[in-house]
Amino acid sequence: MPAIRNSVQEMADRLAKRTARHDLRSRWFGVGRTVIALAQLSVLLLTPVKALLVPVVAMGEYPRCDSVRGASALCLGGDALGMEPRRWLLIAILVAVASGYRPRWTAIPHAWASYSIAVSIAVPDGGESIGMIMSLLMIPIALADGRTWHWQRPVREQTPSWRTVSFVAFLAIRVQIAYLYLDSAVSKFGVADWANGTAEYYFLRDNMFGVGQPWDSLFLWMSRSAPVVTALTWGALVIEIAIGVCVLSSDRRRKAGMVMDIVLHGSIILTMGLWSFAVVMIGSAIVCATPERVRPERVRPERAPDVPSAEPGVPHCAECGALPTVAAVP
């Protein structure tokens, strides 16, 4: 029993030390959040509503408002409200999120808007689901962020409870993104065209997602070379695995993973399009690359709402986030 208690205490001490340094209130997190919101905005601004809600064979009319889908903003108001006002409501929410204004206030509306897009449109490309998951997992981090704009440097120190909540949410995001990339890479090895290195040859010539102008001549010419096709196919798998590993590693390696993510999805944009999906993934990689920086010493402590004001002459405990008792003051 003493050995178990010592082990638990050691783990608790390590967690406390880690969370004491944890603070995601930086421009890194803000940029990633803005990029995700811009990707979602592109879907609503650049695609007509009729195309987003086209009827699907065996699925019926869209938006589907049965069961939990009824919570979607695109189901708001029933038949009494047209689709355009609902679309502009979502656009307004996403514009506020992308601007970086009051992340604490816009976190839950962003999750609602992301959910509405993911469950209501008829032809999602995968980016909508990832945007929904990311916006949900970012809620605790954004709620812990009391800045007016997420572009600003923080002016107050976070309380230990908010640091811990933010740390757990950040870890959950990294695990989710790492799993996505690792599962994607590993599952492809079970597909013959990926395993034998020819998948990119067929993707570039696909009628729907194949390479388009102005790059079609170049890539189609390159794909006639077997070594080039093999390098493109297996290279994508290697990069996906590397991104998944880097996301779970140190600050420096997470930034390397972000660069590889931009290269991978930038290539997908050039060859296949899928803009919103690729930009959501790039935004997610930027969020994952956010450094867990040491809190500046000059930052004023942020007092929890239930903590009383300090009495004159009583110092504030910046590390523990609580006020020492009067008896502890010499």
How do residues 248-306 score in pLDDT, each as one tens digit?
A: 999 899 999 999 999 999 988 888 878 899 999 999 999 999 997 745 545 555 454 44
- 127 or 313, higher pLDDT: 127
Q: Which of 212, 185, 188, 208 is nearest to 125 (CA)?
A: 208
239, pLDDT greater than 50: yes
pLDDT category of residue 1 using cuts at 50, 70 and 90: low
How do residues 314-325 score in pLDDT, each as one tens digit?
A: 454 444 444 344
Spatial distance between the Cα atoms of 196 and 188, rounded to a whole number of angstroms: 11
**Predicted pLDDT of residue 127:** 87
83, pLDDT greater than 80: yes
Instruction: Answer whether 316's CB lies under 8 Å from 323's CB.
Output: yes
Average pLDDT, the chain: 84
pLDDT category of residue 181 using cuts at 50, 70 and 90: very high
**Predicted pLDDT of residue 57:** 66
- 161 or 11, higher pLDDT: 161
**DSSP category for residue 300:** E
For residue 268, what are the contacts with CB-CB under 8 A and spacing of at least 6? Answer: 274, 277, 278
- 99 or 59, higher pLDDT: 99
Q: What are φ and ψ of residue 257, in 5° steps?
A: -60, -35
pLDDT category of residue 12 using cuts at 50, 70 and 90: low
- 323 or 311, higher pLDDT: 311
Region 91-104: mean pLDDT is 96
**Predicted pLDDT of residue 211:** 82
Region 100-121: mean pLDDT is 94
Whole-model pTM? 0.83
**Predicted pLDDT of residue 327:** 39
The fraction of the chain above a pLDDT of 90, given in percent, is 50
68, pLDDT greater than 70: yes
Kindly tell me the burial class for residue 280, based on how many C-beta atoms sit within 10 Å of its own C-beta (0-12, 13-18, 19 or more): buried
5, pLDDT greater than 70: yes
Q: Which of 165, 120, 127 is nearest to 283 (CA)?
A: 127
**Predicted pLDDT of residue 270:** 85
Spatial distance between the Cα atoms of 93 and 32, rounded to a whole number of angstroms: 17
